[in-house]
Amino acid sequence: MISLKGLTKRYGDRLAVDDLTLELRPGKVTGFLGPNGAGKSTTMRLVLGLDRPTAGTALVGGVPYHRIENPLRTVGALLDARAVHPGRSGHAHLTALARSNGIPVRRVGEVLEAVGMTDAARRRAGALSLGMSQRLGIAAALLGDPEVLMFDEPVNGLDPDGVRWVRGLMRSLAAEGRTVFVSSHLMSEMQLTADHLVVIGKGRLLVDAPLADVIASSSMTAVVVRTPHAADLADRLRAAGLTVKRLAENELEVAGATIEQVGDLAYEAGARLHELRTRQASLEQVYQELTSGSVEYGAAA
């Protein structure tokens, strides 16, 4: 488990992380979202002891990272896929990590096979594509078979098959009871991968909730009902305090209600229904709604 309490990081006059308090629990894929400059990478660096917090704490399994014995056996991380000596082969890179962390060297072959890099293991890291570098970075994160895994933009540079593979990997790791923390800007992929969402903007926490709850609470999620009695049903729905919008002659959009509530009110009003469904907002729509006031580096329209 990863625990942040009052975590704050300031670089001169710039507040990169502002009083973050949250717990990332095992058995879930937690998606970490936020605009460019929101503080996502800085937060991960603080957890891994690569930066020192200005205030607050970041703990892994109840202790700071620098106090963890054999850290690769506890935490596996991919923050920068290119952070490998360009003249060293992938196999040599992983072997050095294994030996320096007391991990059996046979584990190198196992993780290379797991990420699909057996045939490319002897190539120099500097000659690898971005996608293959990502696979090597994931292999390094898996090397110690850790309970906590952190990935910063792990699907950058991967082809569709690789993206699908990473999605399955994240979910399988969480299913094994591990803590999986993933940062990404690909909203459609995060919607398919994450169980829980943490969203930050300008360093501050905006959301810490299950993915399904975040989407359901969006103002863009609504119930759509099609009926030949649209006018009468609209009156009945408004009388119940619901917001109703006429989409077409026989079609209504109802905000702030569940599909069961609308169905029950339609029954009470004697309205015959031809269609009743929930129009769910996409994570991209919800994300835009949540972070609209937190974008620091927006381009001109």
Burial of 189 by CB count in 10 Å (0-12 exposed, 13-18 middle, 19+ buried)?
buried
Q: Is the model's pLDDT at 192 over the cut of 60?
A: yes
Q: What's the pTM?
A: 0.84
User: pLDDT (tens digit, 9 = 90+) per residue, 37-55?
Assistant: 899 999 999 999 999 999 9
Extents of the domains making up the chain: 2-210, 222-279
Q: Is the pLDDT of residue 296 over 70?
A: no
Indicate if the pLDDT at residue 141 is higher than 80: yes
Q: Is the dihedral of CA 211, 176, 60, 96 positive or negative?
A: negative
What's residue 138's pLDDT?
Answer: 95
- Give yes or no for a contact between 7 and 19, defined as CB atoms under 8 angstroms apart: yes
Q: What is 222-279's CATH number, 3.40.50.920, 3.30.70.100, 3.90.1150.110, 1.10.10.10? A: 3.30.70.100
% of the chain at pLDDT higher than 70 = 97
Encode pLDDT of 280-289 as tens digits.
888 888 888 8
- For residue 181, the surrounding DSSP H or E stretch is strand 179-183
Class of domain 2-210: alpha beta
> Do β-strands 179-183 and 28-33 pair in parallel, antiparallel, or remain unpaired?
parallel
| One-character DSSP codes across 25-63 | -TTEEEEEE--TTSSHHHHHHHHTTSS--SEEEEEETTB
pLDDT on residue 278: 87
Q: Is 62 left (phi over 0), alpha (psi -120 to 50) or beta?
A: left
Mean pLDDT, range 259-271, rounded to an integer: 93
pLDDT score, position 95: 95
